[in-house]
Amino acid sequence: MEEQRLYKKNYTPHQAKLKAEAYCAYQERSQQEVRDKLYDWGLHMEDVEQIISELISTNFLNEERYANAFALGKFRIKGWGKIKIQQHLKAKRVSAPLIKIALQQIDLDEYEEKLTDIIKKKSTVSLQQLSLQDKAKLVRYLQSKGFENTLIFERIKI
């Protein structure tokens, strides 16, 4: 690990901007991810903020687009609930209004259907036949996936 730091290449602001454009073009990125990457490349605060503002003005970097892509991707591909998506977006320092907009992109019928599908996959027998201990285990699993308690209890009928 120490050897990697010794050989870390520092970039000029122009080189870093070109690399950041490629980095953002590959997939949606949050401002914080790009900011962290620019600091890793050895740039100073003034250069980093200048590059970030240029990327925003040229639409390489768009926080709302990132939040929407993140929320829909994590929901559809990984089966995450809204709570977990919200926590991860906060960790990426996405603003609260943008998080709210992104979570509204998730269709409520599709959301409830995803929850039902996960319950069917996790329980081998019908919900009525599950013991209280197995139901508690299923509830904990669904909570770890980020689903709301009200929806979980409504589906499992504890």
pLDDT single digits (tens) 24-79? 999 999 999 999 999 999 889 999 999 999 999 999 999 999 999 999 999 999 99
Nearest residue to 71 via CA among 84, 62, 61: 84
Q: How far apart are CA 32 and CA 156, in angstroms?
A: 39
**Domain end residue (candidates: 18, 38, 57):** 57
Q: What is the pLDDT of residues 114-153, one digit of tens each?
A: 999 999 898 877 778 888 898 899 999 999 999 999 999 9
Same domain, 97 and 81: yes
Which token pair is 90?
A: 């906060």
Q: Look up the domain containing 19 and give its range.
A: 2-57
Are the CB atoms for 38 and 51 separated by under 8 Å? yes
How many domains in the chain?
3
Residues 6 or more apart in contact with residue 60 via CB below 8 angstroms: 20, 21, 24, 25
Say how many residues make up the chain.
158
